[in-house]
Amino acid sequence: MFPKFFLQQFQKNLNPSQVETLKILIWLLQVHKQVRIERLAACLPLPILYESRRQHLQRFLVLEQLDIEIIWLPLVKYIIEQEFTSNQDLIVAIDRTNWKNNNILIVSVIWKIILKRFLKFTRLVMVLKLYLKIVRLVAII
């Protein structure tokens, strides 16, 4: 289900039970496309009461080991190292937001071709702003 490095990263930071919970949780998210704990707990295939499943998920999701710096950023770093060479200029944009009560982490990578266009566009915008200021000054005089 997970790429080898992902699984190694999870196993390094989580105990076997937590790794299984993570696997099940990701599977549930993919299948049910729901992020509400109540809905996930109802579908969690554990032979315990509903309330116990809900509490199990709540405790799991606040584990210190699931911290962004411990688990997720090393995965982002690994993906970038695998997909790009070390001499490429990259911009990594990381954003965490809430959307309709969903907590979302987005990681975007901007590389050479787009970066050059972005820098040209940025210079063009700066030149246009300067030009507009000059035109306004000329129009006022």
Give the pLDDT confidence score for residue 20 in this predicted structure: 93
Domain boundaries, the chain: 4-110, 112-141
In angstroms, the CA 42 to CA 38 distance is: 6
Helix (H) or strand (E) holding 69: none
Give the pLDDT confidence score for residue 76 in this predicted structure: 81
Could you read off the pLDDT tens digit of each residue along the chain, which spans 141 residues?
678 888 898 999 999 999 999 999 988 888 888 778 899 899 999 999 999 999 999 999 889 888 878 888 888 888 888 877 777 777 777 777 777 776 677 777 776 655 555 555 555 555 555 555 554 444 443
pTM over 0.75: no
Helix axis angle, 16-32 to 4-13, nearest 10°:
130
Mention every residue, 6+ apart, whose C-beta is less than 8 A from residue 121.
none
Question: Do 25 and 57 meet the contact criterion of CB atoms below 8 Å apart?
Answer: yes
